[in-house]
């Protein structure tokens, strides 16, 4: 090995001069280490776990002595902020020339000793706990979520262990093999049924409004329910009770602003808003589409109104007395888009692309609008020093609407079939015209309330009790006349008197639901006991949760089977401060979970005929975990789990009628393990490596195995076990934050994801004849030709792997007074897309048989790098 001094000696003279200059300026460049001790102002005791929010946006956690060490510049004073649950935030000026400082925080309520622990665990502050949850703080969300054309907290969540890869424009990942829709979200304790914009493309959680995010995908506390897969708990930023704060952000396609002002030094109000201006991105994509042959970009040319998002969030808090505090969280958001697609086959038009293949002419018009709002008010009361009572009441409303039509005309398409099956000759070419009107609207409203009570019993024991009510009401209206096809023999078997003349029959199935309304009520209660030994060597949590679901409307009412969900967690610390290990601990847990399936909201009286018994979705999870902590803020966590899903609801409909069939016996078998190696609070380098292996298979025993007879709403094509469409065996994410200077950070995300299931092509393309029927079911006397190929589900066939690479360059600037902060970033996502895209089966025009270039993938990824930028100013 060559020492550093020897390496310098090898440099030429000019290089030696440069090296000496760099070494000479390294002191002012990196600054000095300073130590801040966070203390209770009244008691004089150190506050372990307090957070120091540095001038450069980083956050540091105090050790057992309340100390935090970080780097500060030598050439100017800076201001840092200290926070601790139950205490008013404080500010401290770090002056040049001094290395040790003390920050005293003032207690904001009667929360002492154990009560502080209670308040910390219940206040919405996120924390990572082996076997239960993994959390991201404000700084981690800023680095990984504030990127892309739409900044989104889900961009950060999708980098955590146990989260399946879902691509750029999909905020619905699978959590440890669960169905994407199984993830429940809560914001400041309020359950959100549909926390998405653009049908799931992005979440409503803007990084600038979020303080922390916690993904609970293990055996988490019985305090929370309504999910069998995972819970995303979002904690919003809170206003300061002492200072006026403001922030302005501008990114590639959105502008954000927030302002916070104090009220009588006992509380405050914060208002945040976001408005997108996606038009430049759409114009650029439309230009690229017209100038290139990228078929996947062609739909962008049809956008008449650019996709938009409008949202605002309000948080408020006020401390009336030392033991009574109120808080409020409100949100309103809207998103939409309009499409106007036309082509007449003229040169230079969009001819050759359309949802059903190539057409001589096509016209599609439609608009999408979705908006939702909710609010939650809460009270925190300490009747005694060892008790905490929390009350919460909230409500929400949402509406979604899509309206439009699709019209197609096909002209002079040649027949490859000379005659019909009955021998009647066919003409040399055929024409085809169709028009389908589309309208669907739904409204939902919900009211929810909860009461949570914690009591410190002493000697390490904690008793918690809670009650929760969640009432939802849904109204919907749908008018979707659907054109579908069946083999002529099957159609004839259900339509006496019909004489088949072609291979298939093309007919209309009216699907119309007018003013359908339903409602549901879930009543829940829980009780748990926690124990923690004085030295922290052993901990246990035993709880029981009960959920009772009632549904009604549309001429019926019914109750589901009560869901009892016991959960147990055991934590054992094996050693502390031994050799290279700071700590080594083991965790084991098991528990049951339940949720109400969305299909309950579409039940009608006729569906209940035959004694249909409702059952909630259930799952049982068993896991074991190990966590090792090393010096230099380095930790390693390994978790293995097995999850069995049962009583899962599924529904399918007949292809020749809108009749629905409900079943409650779906099941799934899921197992896997997650590994997380994390370096926190690095001065020059930090980040994490997360690897997940997952094996997930599902089965719906009631699904018939004849694909010609049913149009399945489920993924199942038979009663056999299958890999779901979102399943991936391997997902790896490397997140690296390199900090050459205090004002410059390079964030890199490199991922690897194995492919999703892919059907195997069994035969080549084959032409077949189709008889067209009128809306009333009578024969039109017209025939067309279509092409098909037979595919089969293959457990061993997969789309090829994905390797996403994103790079972000962030530049920070701080004013000498330490009160203002600017950040500018430039990023590029999907860097490797030009050299690699996942490969699948090619598709073809069903009318001409002409193959399309490209491949099929299971995500919304665009096969080009996507640049983005952002600027943020805060005070």
Convert the pLDDT of each residue in 137-182 to its tens digit.
888 998 899 988 889 999 999 999 999 998 888 899 999 999 988 8
565: its two tokens: 């969900």
State residue 871's pLDDT score: 92
Name the more confident of 474 and 547.
547
Going by pLDDT thresholds of 50, 70 and 90, the confidence category of residue 580 is confident
Task: Give backbone dihedrals phi and psi of 600, rounded to 5 degrees, phi first.
Answer: -60, -30
| 81, 103 contact by CB (below 8 A) | no
Report, as an integer, the average pLDDT of 124-144: 83
Res 815 pLDDT > 90: no
pLDDT of residue 600: 76
Distance CA 183, CA 688 (A): 23
Q: Token match 């230079």: residue?
A: 348
- Residue 479 predicted with pLDDT over 70: yes
What is residue 819's DSSP assignment? S
Is residue 383 very low, low, confident or very high in pLDDT (cuts 50, 70, 90)? very high
Look at residue 707 in the predicted model and tell me its pLDDT.
63
Angle at 249 between CA 245 and CA 252, to 5 degrees: 170
pTM for this model (two decimals): 0.82
Per-residue model confidence (pLDDT) at position 861: 58
Tokens for 501, please give them: 């003349």
pLDDT in tens, 173-216: 999 999 988 899 999 989 998 899 988 889 999 999 999 999 99
Tokens 């919003």 correspond to: 236
Contact 111, 262 (CB under 8 A): no
Nearest to 741 by CA among 688, 687, 683, 807: 683
- CA pair distance 35, 752, nearest whole angstrom: 39
Question: What's the whole-number mean pLDDT along residues 810-838?
Answer: 82
Q: Which sign does the torsion angle of CA 284, 286, 290, 292 carry?
A: positive
CA 613 to centroid of chain Cα atoms: 32
Q: What are the start-end ranges of the H helices in 383-530?
A: 488-494
pLDDT tops 60 at residue 379 = yes
Residue carrying structure tokens 């024409």: 431
Q: Which residues, in sequence order, are CB contacts of 126 under 8 Å at separation 6+?
A: 133, 135, 136, 137, 212, 213, 214, 233, 235
Contact 520, 600 (CB under 8 A): yes
Q: Which pLDDT value is given to residue 18?
A: 33
pLDDT, mean over the chain: 83
């Amino acid at each position: 090995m060559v020492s550093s001094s020897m390496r310098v000696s090898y440099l030429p003279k000019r290089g030696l001069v440069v090296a000496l200059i760099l070494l000479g300026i390294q002191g002012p460049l990196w600054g000095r280490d300073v130590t801040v001790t966070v203390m209770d102002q009244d008691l004089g005791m150190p506050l372990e776990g307090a957070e120091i929010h540095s001038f450069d946006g980083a956050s540091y956690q105090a050790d057992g002595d309340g100390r935090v060490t970080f780097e500060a510049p030598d050439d100017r004073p800076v201001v840092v902020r200290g926070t601790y649950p139950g205490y008013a935030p404080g500010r401290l000026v770090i002056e040049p020339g001094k290395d040790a400082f003390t920050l005293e925080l003032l207690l904001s309520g009667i929360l002492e000793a154990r009560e502080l622990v209670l308040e910390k665990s219940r206040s919405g502050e996120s924390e990572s706990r082996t076997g239960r949850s993994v959390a991201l703080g404000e700084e981690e969300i800023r680095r990984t979520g504030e990127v892309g054309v739409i900044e989104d907290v889900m961009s950060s969540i999708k980098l955590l262990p146990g989260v399946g890869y879902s691509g750029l424009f999909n905020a619905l990942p699978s959590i440890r093999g669960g169905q994407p829709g199984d993830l429940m979200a809560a914001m400041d304790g309020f359950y959100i049924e549909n926390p998405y914009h653009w049908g799931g493309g992005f979440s409503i959680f803007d990084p600038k409004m979020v303080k922390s995010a916690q993904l609970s995908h293990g055996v988490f506390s019985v305090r929370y329910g309504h999910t069998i897969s995972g819970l995303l708990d979002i904690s919003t930023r809170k206003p300061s009770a002492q200072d006026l704060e403001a922030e302005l952000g501008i990114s590639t396609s959105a502008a954000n602003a927030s302002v916070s002002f104090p009220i009588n030094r006992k509380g405050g109000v914060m208002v945040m808003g976001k408005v997108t201006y996606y038009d430049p991105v759409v114009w650029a994509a439309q230009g690229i589409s017209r100038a290139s042959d990228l078929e996947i970009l062609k739909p962008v040319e049809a956008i008449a109104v650019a996709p938009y998002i409008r949202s605002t969030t309000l948080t408020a808090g006020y401390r009336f007395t030392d033991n009574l505090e109120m808080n409020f969280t409100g949100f309103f958001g809207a998103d939409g888009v309009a499409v106007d697609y036309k082509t007449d086959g003229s040169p230079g038009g969009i001819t050759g692309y359309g949802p059903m293949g190539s057409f001589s002419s096509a016209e599609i018009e439609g608009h999408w609008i979705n908006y939702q709002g909710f609010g939650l008010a809460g009270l925190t009361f300490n009747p005694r020093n060892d008790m905490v009572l929390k009350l919460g009441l909230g409500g929400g409303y949402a509406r979604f609407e899509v309206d439009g039509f699709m019209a197609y005309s096909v002209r002079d398409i040649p027949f490859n079939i000379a005659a019909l099956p009955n021998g009647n000759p066919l003409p040399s070419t055929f024409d085809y015209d169709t028009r389908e009107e589309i309208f669907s609207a739904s409204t939902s409203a919900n009211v929810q309330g909860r009461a949570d009570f914690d009591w410190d019993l002493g000697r390490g024991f904690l008793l918690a009790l809670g009650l929760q009510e969640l009432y939802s009401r849904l109204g919907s209206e749908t008018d979707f006349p659907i054109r579908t096809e069946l083999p002529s023999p099957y159609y004839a078997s259900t339509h006496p008197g019909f004489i088949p003349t072609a291979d298939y029959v093309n007919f209309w199935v009216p699907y119309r639901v007018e003013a359908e309304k339903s409602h549901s009520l879930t009543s829940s209660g829980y009780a748990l006991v926690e124990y923690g030994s004085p030295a922290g060597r052993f901990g246990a949590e035993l709880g029981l949760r009960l959920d009772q679901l009632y549904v009604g409307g549309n001429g019926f009412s019914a109750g589901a089977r009560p869901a009892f969900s016991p959960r147990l967690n055991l934590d054992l610390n094996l050693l502390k401060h031994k050799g290279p290990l700071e700590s080594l601990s083991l965790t084991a847990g098991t528990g049951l979970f339940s949720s109400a399936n969305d299909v309950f909201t579409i039940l009608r009286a006729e569906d209940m005929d035959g004694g249909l018994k409702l059952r909630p979705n259930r799952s049982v999870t068993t896991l074991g975990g190990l966590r090792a902590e090393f010096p230099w803020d380095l930790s390693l966590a390994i978790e293995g789990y097995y999850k069995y899903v049962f009583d899962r609801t599924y529904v399918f409909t007949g292809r020749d009628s809108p009749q629905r069939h409900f079943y409650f016996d779906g099941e799934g078998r899921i197992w896997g393990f997650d590994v997380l190696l994390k370096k926190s609070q690095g001065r020059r380098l930090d980040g994490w490596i997360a690897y997940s292996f997952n094996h997930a298979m599902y089965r719906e025993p009631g699904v018939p195995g004849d694909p010609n007879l049913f149009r399945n709403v489920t993924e199942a094509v038979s009663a056999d076990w299958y890999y779901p469409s979102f399943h991936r065996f391997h997902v790896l994410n490397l997140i690296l934050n390199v900090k050459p200077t205090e004002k410059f950070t390079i964030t890199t995300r490199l991922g690897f994801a194995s492919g999703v299931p892919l059907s195997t092509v069994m035969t080549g393309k084959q032409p077949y004849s189709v008889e067209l029927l009128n809306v009333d079911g009578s024969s039109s006397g017209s025939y067309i030709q279509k092409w098909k190929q037979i595919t089969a589900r293959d457990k061993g066939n997969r789309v090829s792997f994905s390797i996403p690479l994103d790079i972000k360059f962030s530049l920070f600037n701080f004013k000498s007074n330490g009160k203002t902060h600017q950040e500018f970033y430039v990023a590029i996502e999907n860097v490797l897309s030009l050299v690699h895209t996942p490969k699948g089966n090619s598709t073809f025009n069903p009318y001409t048989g002409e193959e399309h270039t490209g491949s099929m993938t299971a995500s919304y990824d665009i096969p080009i790098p996507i640049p983005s930028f952002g600027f943020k100013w805060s005070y």
